[in-house]
């Protein structure tokens, strides 16, 4: 464990930082109680620095300060104590630069600054890094998005339940408090609380851009329509800056197999490693901001939790070690014998260090879809093998947007962490609009670690539609429990926008569905399963099959979906299989 350097700390509250346009941003500062100069660890968040659930979250600032750091936790512009107008994401670039340099000049700072934080306060690190403040030496972005991808969009599909939850739960209370008089705000908060209590029912409201919990508050309308339903991060920052080539800084990336930002966190690691080799990454069996050993309906063992990582570290000690290296010593590169990647392998429930990601030894193995044409009604009629299909085979199902496939687990971002993680898919797999392809039981353990992709040849009788894919681990004994590992979705029009196919009706199209990544050992007796459907609701905006979206329409029609798998259309999943020892 880390070595304690100071036994007492001072806490300075509501310390102002004046940025270039005169706006004051306020922070709480935790620092050693002596006359020394220490490196600074900065966290910038929009969720209230005075609430321990957010300001402390998963890192203990007191323990960190005891170990020889000045810890600064700041409300970003326009949030809580800080002045100015809140504009999600885009404001964090120059404000981040100014705050870093202010922190470096504090009398108890040694001039070296690191940044840390999860989710939105991972974004604040990346955007500050784009500006290249000279005092910023290292960062620790956890479970965060990419600088050039939208926070609530995957495969061209709007992740509306997460967006609605975020604005109503995390943003609206303080945002309205700053804009309304006392009596109006009191009434608004009653409505906000009532709507949060009913948010699962509110997710069903269409059209989304007229969502009543937001639209009843005029102050929220522009924020919702401009920044949420029509995200414009990449439109408001210069393309010259929005490139990973500008992120040349040591970074420790923290991800979770069931986090809604899993893919972007891993891509941040991969992209930044191209321009700065001083990158590390850890991926645990965690959901967004949830680091327990039990996630969803599975337990991964005591040493899977963020408080006992392989029995050696916890999340705070990981941060202390990382910033000890970069901010207290004159290191310029990581040690050659320090493995940069640490992953938790599910199934066998073990941590493992790796020298690269993706793993060079992974064998990208296609598992092909086969069936007798009735895979949608019989779990065993759709099979998954490494043998390519020969004869012409098709499966059909009806996508009814009025009765979408319900979300059941995964990397969701729902209110209070509901529905996250691995959950039994058995009931969903009996639906007539979910097609399943299942392997034979494993004779020996089969490890799959890396990026997962489904290549799907499909047709629809609608002008536009969606296709989803899910990778599942089926435990045959005792009861066939089927736990989801990872999933993906693609909107047909989004996938084909470069081909300028506005109407996809009756066209056979090759889709590549990005399932992001996982690490799992399919144990003897377990089966590999792929689910194909056209909805995953309310995680994703359901496609009305009309060529429009439920952002601005309530008209929905059924669509007949056809999956092809033959020699010319060999639909399959590509699994990164790790050879046995």
Write down the pLDDT at residue 448.
Answer: 98
Write down the pLDDT at residue 16.
Answer: 98
What token pair was written down for 173? 């209370």
What token pair was written down for 563? 């999956």
What token pair was written down for 115? 């940044």
pLDDT in tens, the chain (581 residues): 456 665 799 999 999 999 999 999 999 999 999 999 999 999 999 999 999 888 777 899 999 999 999 999 999 999 999 999 998 888 999 999 999 999 999 999 999 999 999 999 999 999 999 999 999 999 999 999 988 777 788 889 999 999 999 999 999 999 999 999 999 999 999 999 999 999 999 999 999 999 999 999 999 988 888 766 654 444 555 555 666 678 899 999 999 999 999 999 999 999 999 999 999 999 999 999 999 999 999 999 999 999 999 999 999 999 999 999 999 987 777 765 689 999 999 999 999 999 999 999 999 999 999 997 655 555 567 999 999 998 888 999 999 999 999 999 999 999 989 999 999 999 999 999 999 999 999 999 999 999 999 999 999 999 999 999 999 999 987 788 999 999 999 999 988 876 555 677 888 999 999 999 999 999 999 999 999 999 999 999 999 999 999 999 999 999 999 999 999 999 999 999 999 86
Question: Please, are residues 435 and 531 in contact by the beta-carbon 8 Å criterion?
Answer: yes
Of 535, 417, 556, 382, nearest to 467 by C-alpha is 535
Distance between CA atoms of 24 and 335, rounded to whole angstroms? Answer: 40
Distance between CA atoms of 199 and 204, rounded to whole angstroms? Answer: 9
Please state whether beta strands 153-154 and 157-158 pair in parallel, antiparallel, or not at all (unpaired). Answer: antiparallel
Terminal Cα-to-Cα distance of the chain (whole angstroms): 32
Residue 162's SS3 state is: helix
Question: Please, are residues 564 and 458 in contact by the beta-carbon 8 Å criterion?
Answer: yes
Q: Transcribe 474-489 into DSSP letters.
A: EETTTT-EEEEEEEEE
Distance between CA atoms of 257 and 251, rounded to whole angstroms? Answer: 19
Q: Transcribe 163-207 into DSSP letters.
A: HHHIIIIIIHHHHHHHHS-HHHHHHHHHHHHHHHHTHHHHTT-SS
Contacts of 334 (CB under 8 A, 6+ apart): 250, 277, 278, 280, 325, 340
Q: How many CB atoms are closer than 10 A to CB 335? A: 8
The set of catalytic residues is: 119, 259, 288
What token pair was written down for 486? 């990872």
Of 518, 487, 347, 345, nearest to 409 by C-alpha is 487
Instruction: Examine residue 358 and say whether the peptide bond preceding it is cis (omega within 30 degrees of 0).
Output: yes
Residue 385's SS3 state is: strand
Burial-class residue 432 by CB neighbours within 10 Å (0-12, 13-18, 19+): exposed
Could you tell me the CA-to-CA distances from 383 to 150, 428, 486, 545, 564 in Å, in that order? 36, 18, 19, 28, 14
Identify the H or E element spanning 73: strand 70-75
Please state whether beta strands 38-45 and 109-118 pair in parallel, antiparallel, or not at all (unpaired). Answer: parallel
Distance between CA atoms of 73 and 45, rounded to whole angstroms? Answer: 8
CA 347 to chain centre: 22
Contacts of 401 (CB under 8 A, 6+ apart): 535, 542, 543, 544, 545, 550, 556, 557, 558
Distance between CA atoms of 298 and 305, rounded to whole angstroms? Answer: 13
């Amino acid at each position: 464990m880390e070595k304690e350097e100071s036994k007492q700390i001072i806490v300075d509250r509501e310390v102002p930082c004046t940025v270039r346009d005169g706006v004051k941003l306020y922070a709480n500062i935790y620092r050693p109680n002596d006359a020394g100069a220490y490196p600074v660890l900065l966290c910038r968040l929009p969720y209230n620095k005075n609430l321990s659930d957010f300001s402390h979250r998963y890192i203990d600032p007191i323990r960190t300060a005891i170990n020889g750091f000045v810890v600064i936790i700041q409300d970003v512009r326009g949030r809580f104590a800080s002045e100015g107008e809140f504009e999600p994401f885009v404001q964090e670039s120059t404000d981040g630069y100014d705050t870093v340099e202010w922190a470096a000049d504090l009398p108890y700072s040694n001039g070296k600054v690191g940044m840390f934080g999860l989710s939105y306060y991972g974004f604040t690190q990346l955007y500050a890094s784009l500006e290249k403040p000279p005092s910023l030496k290292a960062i620790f972005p956890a479970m965060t998005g990419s600088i050039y991808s939208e926070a609530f969009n995957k495969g061209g599909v709007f992740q509306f339940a997460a967006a609605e939850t975020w604005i109503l739960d995390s943003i609206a209370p303080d945002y309205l408090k700053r804009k309304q008089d006392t009596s109006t705000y009191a009434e608004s908060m009653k409505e906000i609380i009532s709507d949060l209590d009913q948010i699962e029912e509110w997710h069903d409201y269409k059209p989304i851009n007229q969502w009543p919990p937001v639209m009843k508050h005029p102050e929220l309308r522009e924020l919702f329509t401009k920044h949420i339903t029509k995200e414009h991060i990449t439109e408001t920052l210069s393309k010259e800056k929005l490139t990973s080539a500008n992120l040349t800084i040591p970074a420790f990336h923290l991800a979770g197999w069931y986090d809604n930002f899993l893919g972007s966190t891993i891509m941040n690691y991969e992209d930044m490693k191209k321009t700065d080799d001083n990158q590390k990454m850890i991926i645990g069996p965690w959901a967004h901001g949830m680091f327990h050993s039990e996630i969803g309906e599975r337990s991964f063992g005591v040493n899977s939790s963020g408080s006992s990582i392989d029995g050696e570290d916890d999340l705070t000690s990981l941060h202390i070690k990382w910033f000890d290296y970069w901010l207290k010593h004159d290191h310029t590169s990581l040690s050659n014998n320090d493995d940069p990647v640490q992953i938790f392998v599910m199934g066998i429930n073990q941590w493992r260090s790796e020298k690269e990601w993706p793993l060079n030894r992974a064998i990208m193995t296609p598992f092909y879809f086969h069936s007798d044409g009735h895979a949608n009604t019989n779990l065993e009629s759709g099979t998954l093998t490494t043998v390519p299909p020969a004869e012409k085979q098709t499966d059909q199902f009806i996508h009814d947007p009025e009765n979408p496939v319900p979300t059941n687990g995964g990397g969701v971002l729902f209110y209070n962490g509901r529905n996250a993680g691995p959950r039994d898919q058995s009931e969903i797999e009996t639906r007539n609009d979910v097609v399943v392809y299942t392997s034979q039981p494993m004779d020996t353990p089969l490890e799959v670690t890396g990026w997962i992709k489904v290549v799907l040849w499909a047709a629809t009788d609608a002008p536009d539609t969606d296709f989803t894919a899910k990778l599942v681990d089926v435990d045959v004994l005792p009861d066939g429990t089927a736990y989801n590992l990872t999933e993906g979705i693609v909107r047909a029009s989004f996938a084909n926008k470069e081909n300028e196919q506005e109407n996809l009706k009756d066209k056979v199209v090759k889709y590549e569905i990005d399932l992001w990544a996982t690490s799992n050992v399919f144990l003897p007796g377990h089966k590999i399963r792929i689910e194909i459907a056209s909805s995953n609701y309310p995680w994703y905006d359901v496609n009305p099959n009309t060529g429009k979206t439920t952002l601005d329409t309530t008209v929905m029609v059924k669509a007949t979906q056809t999956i092809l798998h033959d020699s010319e259309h060999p639909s399959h999943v590509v699994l990164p299989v790790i050879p046995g020892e």
